[in-house]
Amino acid sequence: MISSSTFHVISTELVVGSFAMSGLCFLLYALCRYDLIKNKNLISITDNVAHFALMFGIIATPFAIFSGISASPGSGFSTPILVNKMFLSMTGLGLGLAALISRWKMCDSILTERKPMLIQTFSGMGASGLMLLTASAGGSFARGESLLDIFSLPYDMVILMPIAISAILLMLGLATTASALWKLLGRSTV
Amino acid sequence: MFRRIRILFVITILLSLSSFTQANPGGVGDGVFDMQCGGACHGDSSLNQTSSASISVQVEGSPYLDQPISISAVISGAQLSYSGDLGIFLLTDITGHSDTPADAQWDILSDSNGGTNNYVEGKLLTGQDNFSTSWTIKPTTLTTTTFYISIHHGGDDIPYFGISQGLEIEVLPIPDNLARLSSDFTPQTTRPLGEATTVSIETEDVSSVKVEWKVEGSSINTIIANYSSEGVWEFIAPASNQPSSIQWRAILEGEGPSQTTPWFTLVAQEPPFEVDETAVYIQSFALFIFVLGFILSIQLKFSKSKTEEKQWEQTEEVLQDSPPTTPPLPDGQLPPGWTMEQWQWYGHEYLEELKEGVQ
């Protein structure tokens, strides 16, 4: 048996690696689609790699989050950095999962039309960016320094909404997600 | 679809189990706990192994009723360096329940981390071979109590547990005119960073107070406390610009026997960060589910036109369901041994073979 902190390191390595690969592929895909890189084979390759890496990262993310909470000293949220890590990783997870479900249920159609393709690449790259930001916050917490320190990110500031507002947002999110999934799962893909 | 949901459900259950049933190698934070931490420190106490660390306990001060004494412990041993994290208990019993000092009518005035807990956590720094901690406690009844120091620590993937020999303390009645601290005196244990702190000492039968203070590892400084009001004396502790602790004790003199108090700990620290964990969890899940729903909805909206066009496209289904066109019968009747249904599906192959045979 390994300790929570070791398991957290392993799972975060997997998450960060997968999301970094996914984000890079989403970027290359967008560049190919706008003919900034003229390589037709790359479109198909980056599409596949981006979404499979995203899927792997999403599977590893809950393990990283729960082992991180378990490994932190005292209560799970003893510093503002840990609270911000939770917010960033959960938002990134939402973006990533949305990108993956869209690609799975809408197939190629979201990549052939301009606006859905832009939203898809934004979601994928956004998820990667947020996960890398989470990893940077983890570095600041564990070692007191991170590569992104040059941006002086306000990790010590927590924007915590009142529970009532969060609950409304949660209900709204649940309703929107349920409605979207109902339409996606119920409609013909012929 | 339901198979996927079942897999997701099983993964969720496994995740929950992995996080809730294990020990807490990161610690649980200081608190008032019984010997097994209520099961919270090491998930299952039956898995504990005996620690090889040595624990030495020392008492400082005279155990008079309502007068503080100090109990200090030094824990050492190579096994501690595995993880460095250490949980230390001050107990009054080893039965596993009703074993905190409060259960034996003792109040904890301060611990070495600036709190008033019987369980404190510490970390053995690299290069250190022992860890020291102390509690200032006072008896509230005339009683005899046996104190124990117990430790929890990890190492080599095994939770370890250790307990010291008992140390019996008999509480004595206060002698006449004893220069002493007031029975309701509670020492200040924490203070903010960067500010000099005025510390008040409430006394009885005292005519002068001398204070000794020290920062760990440095020499003792002595100052005379100023008389403030009836029985109250004050001295100023210098400001600390970084988290640290100073220890101080008072030498009380009066008409009766003089007395030296135990060492009290005054910790300078940042105000602890506190957050409502429920609010954090709800906001996290709200952000997750809202972002998910929002992106899916706008994807649906923008890819709608194309999918609607396709929604009524059923050519393939129609082609699949329609029976094939029946080929014309040779000479107006079925070949011998054929049924009409067979002819409907395979008749054209028969006609092609017949045509090739003629050619």
pTM score above 0.80 = no
Q: Give, for B162, the enclosing helix (H) or strand (E).
A: strand B160-163
Question: How many angstroms away from the CA of A2 is the closest CA of chain B?
Answer: 7
From chain B residues 74-133, the ones with a CB under 8 A of any chain A CB are 83, 121
pLDDT for the residue numbered B19: 45
What is the average pLDDT score of chain B? 81
In 3D, which of A69, A85, A179, A60 has the Cα closest to residue A137? A85
Alpha carbon distance A131, A137 (integer Å): 10
Predicted confidence band at B110 (pLDDT cuts at 50, 70, 90)? confident
Asked whether residue B57 falls in the same domain as residue B134, the answer is yes
Q: What is the mean pLDDT of residues A32-60?
A: 89
The residues, any chain, with a CB within 8 Å of residue B254's CB and separated by 6 or more, are B177, B178, B179, B205, B206, B207, B208
ipTM: 0.91
Asked, for residue B43, whether it belongs to a domain, the answer is: yes
Contact A109 B289 (CB under 8 A): no
B221 three-class SS: strand
**Location of structure tokens 């250790």:** B162
Q: What is the mean pLDDT of residues A29-43?
A: 87
Predicted confidence band at B358 (pLDDT cuts at 50, 70, 90)? low
Asked whether residue A173 falls in the same domain as residue A90, the answer is no
A10: containing domain? 4-156
Asked, for residue B353, whether it belongs to a domain, the answer is: yes
B128 three-class SS: coil
Asked whether residue B209 falls in the same domain as residue B89, the answer is no
Contacts of residue A90 in chain B, CB cutoff 8 Å? 284-285, 287-288
Alpha carbon distance A45, A52 (integer Å): 11
Predicted confidence band at B44 (pLDDT cuts at 50, 70, 90)? low
**Statement: residue B22 has pLDDT above 50:** no
pLDDT for the residue numbered B286: 95
From chain A residues 19-78, the ones with a CB under 8 A of any chain B CB are 62-63, 66-67, 69-78
Average the pLDDT over each of A29-43, A68-82, B247-261, B289-303 and give the range with the smallest value. Answer: A68-82
Asked, for residue B216, whether it belongs to a domain, the answer is: yes
Asked whether residue B52 falls in the same domain as residue B146, the answer is yes
Q: What is the pLDDT of residues B139-149, one digit of tens each?
A: 999 989 999 99
Question: In 10 A of CB B131, how many CB atoms?
Answer: 21
- Residue B214: which CATH number? 2.60.40.10
Q: Decide: B238 and B199 in contact? Cβ < 8 Å.
A: no
Share of chain B above pLDDT 70, in %: 83
pLDDT for the residue numbered B20: 45
Residue B205 tokens read as 């039968």
**Statement: residue B309 has pLDDT above 80:** no
pLDDT for the residue numbered A130: 93
What is the average pLDDT score of chain A? 86
**Statement: residue A18 has pLDDT above 90:** yes
**Statement: residue B162 has pLDDT above 80:** yes
Work out whether the CA dihedral B108, B111, B114, B116 comes out positive or negative.
negative
From chain B residues 288-317, the ones with a CB under 8 A of any chain A CB are 288-300, 302-303, 306-307, 310-311, 313-314, 316-317
Asked, for residue B313, whether it belongs to a domain, the answer is: no
Residue B44 tokens read as 């299952």
H helices of B21-102, in order, are none
Q: What is the pLDDT of residues A113-148, one digit of tens each?
A: 888 899 999 999 999 999 999 988 888 887 777 888
Share of chain B above pLDDT 90, in %: 17
